[in-house]
Chain A
């Protein structure tokens, strides 16, 4: 089955701790994205990557870091510099094969601060 997986489903972070959210896709998509969603808000872009070994900051990159060493994987690290990390984090990948460049989302990771 082709799709996007994110793990864990729930993640708890202690103050001062870095945590890493996993995102894997087997859709052979080149581009991948990380979004943050807060209650009553839309989706805000954290980082995106259009190709392996390359990524760009989105609108709210401060306190986050990413890597893109493999086409299939785009992990997001929430660092201790992110003072308000509690949110729903969504990973997406983009299908460039169809017209319009549709993005598809993984199931999400809910991050909570202890």
Chain B
């Protein structure tokens, strides 16, 4: 049930774009995205509930393709503050509500 994230790591220059993918072998109820800075707790970014749903906040957005059982996180015009490890968490359709399975994370490094 653990989703698979790709790539494992991304290195960017400020202003460049990145895409992080999250895919599951199970039908999904929801996808949650978090960002974790080194030594800190994960911080919630957004949740996607419906197939085809897209959400965004400033220059970070995400989509959810229910049919393909996958989600993508888009970071545009990246800033230094975007550096960190991004995790997706998935809730399987039909499983205990709230039981999140986390991917292994994607480490994003933004250089000036």
Q: How many residues of B contact A (CB 8 A)?
A: 22
Complex CA–CA separation, A92 to B104 (angstroms) = 18
> What B residues does A45 contact at CB under 8 A?
99-100
> What B residues does A101 contact at CB under 8 A?
30, 91, 97-98
B104: shortest Cβ distance to chain A, in Å? 5
Q: Which of A12-20, A35-43, A63-71, A78-86 contacts B (4 or more CB under 8 A)?
A: A35-43
> What B residues does A35 contact at CB under 8 A?
102
Q: How many residues of A contact B (CB 8 A)?
A: 23
Complex CA–CA separation, A78 to B84 (angstroms) = 28
Q: Are A43 and B98 in touch, CB under 8 angstroms?
A: no
Q: Are A108 and B41 in touch, CB under 8 angstroms?
A: yes
- Chain A 46-68 near chain B by CB (<8 Å), digits 1 or 0: 00101000000000000000000
Which residues of B are interface residues toward A (Cβ below 8 A)? 2, 30, 32, 34, 40-44, 47, 49, 87, 89, 91, 97-100, 102-105
By Cβ-Cβ distance, the 5 closest A-B pairs, closest first, are A42-B102, A105-B41, A100-B47, A43-B102, A101-B98
Further pairs besides A43-B87, A99-B49: 13, Cβ < 8 Å: A42-B87, A43-B42, A45-B100, A90-B41, A100-B32, A101-B98, A103-B44, A103-B89, A103-B98, A103-B100, A105-B42, A105-B43, A108-B40
